Chains A and B, each alone.
Chain A
Amino acid sequence: MKVYKCFRILGWDFTITPVRFVLTGLVALMVATVVLRLLTGFQYVTNLTDETPWGMWIAFDVMCGVALAGGGYSTALLVSIFQYKEFHVVARGALLTSLLGYILVMAGLFLDIGQWFNFWRPFVSWGYTSVLFEVFWCISIYTTVLSIEFFEIITERILRKKLHRYIVKILPVLVVIGLIFPVMHQSSLGGLFLIMKERMFPLWWSEFLPLYFLLSSFFIGSAMVTIETTLAKTAYGHEIPHNIMLKLTRVGAGMMFVYLLLKLYDLFEKHEWNYVFQGTLQSNMYCVEMLFGILIPLVIIVSPLSKKRGGLLTYATLTVFGVILNRLNCVFTSMYESGSYFPGIGEIIVSVGLISLGVLIYCFLVENFNIIGNERAVQVKIDKDKDIKNLIWALLRTKRR
């Protein structure tokens, strides 16, 4: 039976596909786990210990989430400040992904703090000596700004008369503010690790950490936009000219080159080459990270391979992989002493559930608002039955199966 259906209820499009059924199931599973976690603490849901007090939620959901959401600010920077007008076609999509990314990051953070009813403390009890304090404020402010920016798109359709005008008016200011904070906290996420000098493996610790995190968030951002547009193309048949994507990724690759130079400078300056080829877990992970995450992508982007879609996609995938690996390495590998950590089933369920939730919201918004270029995107291969009776019918039928 085919459950590819799109229903219009009260003017809103709801699409049902088998994939989305699965995603909804995952979200439900997550909700149950979250309730368990908030009521019982960490013991049943996570594998955290005193040796790895920061686990998957921090390393993957927060560190990688923020990095992946870098696409929003990097595109906005290019479009509105450096006037790369042709990137405008991807700006809204990137904005939406960033917003979702940040909301999920906040959710992940909230779950990860032990006394979650105390989450507002840093707003009043200012631990200004902490880099985390800055990250906390910046992420809070930036998420707010992003939401208002995104509201512009929402109000194109609802509350158009009442709100849209005002939001459009303050938009330029918001764009500028919305470019200050992400730059600050992307680098501060790297700054978090500065204080761990005595605990991190020397290959990862450097005074340049803030700069590394900033640069890498920029190039993972553009790589992510490439992946998103490819996904959007398969799902919604909405194509963006290859040369625009290529140009966008080239800007990112430029940043990546600077990153590489800095890393090399660091290695020479601190005489750390012996660590690189030590053959231990840490040095091997470092080599994998640099080779697959930086060197190979750079080769791809300067070679003729980048002219092909597949080549560009490989570049983007490797880059994303590399930065994610870098974040995981910073949190886990570099501080590895003894005892091993593998995320508990609960941690995985929550992370997967959060991502599923993000995908579902993304699809819903894209299908109802003008985000990827048309008023309402429609998933390809879809039956256009638009009737509430059919919705119930379809639900019943899937249940019976």
Chain B
Amino acid sequence: MAVLVDITKCIGCEGCTVACKRYNNLNFKAKPRNVKDDDNVELDDNRWTVIQEFHGEKNDKLRFVKKQCLHCKEPACASACFSKAIQKDEKTGAVVYYPDLCVGCRYCLVACPYSIPKYQWNEQFPQVSKCQMCSERVSKGDAPACVSACTTGALMSGDRDELLKKAHEIINSDSRYINHVYGEHEVGGAEWLYISDVPFEELGFKDVSNVPVTSYTKSYLSKVPGLAACWALFLSGIAFYNYRVDKNRKSHDDDDQDKEG
């Protein structure tokens, strides 16, 4: 399951953010915890998705951008979690958080290239909070709550390959669009895709490389066992050698003593 966001169609009605809060039982009254310098509200523990406002470089275009977890194909957060509290659901593609397994180390918060996961700083036993892509709805074949709530057609859910094809069709048929589907290749690709008529850099999207960040940890961790084994062998070899040298020296000493005796 994937979602395509057509930024040109979003009117900023906040229907999706309300739907998300309702469906996930988030606190409506909570004040925004993170407000950015440009007055846009950032995600927090009671805002799994937000609508951010941008005015374009020349202050002539008003665009709304829905922000939430992108549900990466190679999720850094899931790979970083050392107790498997974040896992990518193979069937739906949703990157889901399981609070029972979470230790609360917040490595996922620092690992996510888009700084998506947030933390319940005011709780006694805080948990991580992020968009779960309404995994229960999605696994039943429904669209995510926010997508169902969207009235303008800015959010479309469906199969990722089909949506990608559609995205490129839209881009090719309409010259206003930028020829770039954000989320197609970014850090290995994501389930949430964006198309826009304003360059993505001007809309607060992060310019990231196409190499999944998990590949670096993977290549490091794959080398560790081998290196550790070599190191262990080397150490025990030398330790054994030292031991023999010591022993020989001792028996020499003993021999000497015997002769003297």
Contact = CB atoms under 8 A, between A and B. Distances in A.
B110 A41 contact: no
A122 B218 CA distance: 19
A113 B81 contact: no
B103 A113 contact: yes
Nearest to B109: A53
B135 interface: no
B235 A114 contact: no
A172 B239 contact: yes
A43 B232 contact: no
Given A81-B239, A199-B110, A180 B126 contact: no
A80 B242 CA distance: 8
A40 B209 CA distance: 40
A207 B125 CA distance: 35
- Most B CB contacts (10 A, CB to CB) among A43, A195, A196, A210 go to A195
Interface in B174-210: 187, 206, 208-209
Interface in B6-52: 33-34, 36-37, 42-44
Interface stretch (B62-70, B114-122, B248-256): B114-122
A180 B232 contact: yes
A197 interface: yes
Interface in A121-140: 121-122, 125-134, 136
A176 interface: yes
Contacts of B43: 50
Nearest to B234: A81
Contacts of B214: 129, 195
Contacts of B243: 172
Contacts of B101: 118, 121, 125
Interface string B224-242: 1000100110011011001
A196 B213 contact: yes
A175 to B, nearest CB: 7
Given A41-B122, A122-B83, A130-B79, A83 B103 contact: no
A400 to B, nearest CB: 42
A392 to B, nearest CB: 41
A134 B216 contact: no
A51 B84 contact: no
Nearest to B246: A83
A115 B103 contact: yes
Contact of A130 (B81, B102, B124, B125): B81
Contacts, number: 174
Given A132-B107, A199-B110, A180 B228 contact: yes
Given A180-B231, A188-B224, A195-B111, A114 B106 contact: yes
A284 interface: no
Contacts of A199: 110, 113, 115
Among A127, A131, A176, A337, chain B packs the most CB atoms within 10 A around the CB of A127
Contacts of B118: 50
Contact of B82 (A127, A183, A191): A127
B82 A335 contact: no
Given A121-B103, A179-B235, A115 B84 contact: no
A198 B213 contact: yes
A205 to B, nearest CB: 9
A244 B183 CA distance: 59
A44 to B, nearest CB: 10
Contact of A129 (B34, B105, B217): B217
B90 interface: no
A163 B124 CA distance: 44
Most buried by B among A49, A114, A121: A114
A115 B126 contact: yes
B104 interface: yes
Most chain A C-beta atoms within 10 Å of own C-beta, residue among B34, B37, B106, B122: B106
Nearest to A194: B216
Interface residues of B, number: 61
Given A50-B119, A54-B110, A113-B105, A195 B82 contact: no
A393 interface: no
B200 to A, nearest CB: 15
Given A50-B42, A176-B236, A195-B111, A114 B216 contact: no
B24 to A, nearest CB: 18
Nearest to A191: B220
A119 B242 CA distance: 40
Given A53-B110, A188-B224, A207-B216, A198 B123 contact: no
Contacts of A119: 103
Given A127-B82, A195-B79, A118 B104 contact: yes
Interface string A65-93: 00000000000000011110000000000
A230 to B, nearest CB: 30
B218 A81 contact: no
A199 to B, nearest CB: 6
Nearest to A190: B220
B33 A197 contact: no
A98 B231 CA distance: 21
A134 B110 CA distance: 17
B5 to A, nearest CB: 21
A114 B231 contact: no
A49 B121 contact: yes
A130 B80 contact: yes
Contact of B83 (A48, A121, A176, A197): A121
30 contacts: A39-B124, A42-B121, A50-B34, A50-B109, A50-B115, A51-B34, A54-B110, A80-B242, A81-B235, A113-B103, A114-B120, A115-B102, A115-B125, A118-B100, A121-B101, A122-B82, A122-B103, A125-B101, A129-B79, A131-B221, A176-B236, A184-B228, A191-B220, A194-B220, A197-B211, A198-B113, A199-B110, A199-B113, A210-B220, A337-B115
Interface of A: 39-43, 48-51, 53-54, 80-83, 112-119, 121-122, 125-134, 136, 172, 175-176, 179-180, 183-184, 188, 191-192, 194-199, 207, 210, 335, 337-338
The 10 closest A-B pairs by CB, nearest first: A114-B104, A198-B113, A133-B82, A121-B83, A194-B216, A130-B82, A132-B82, A53-B109, A53-B106, A127-B82
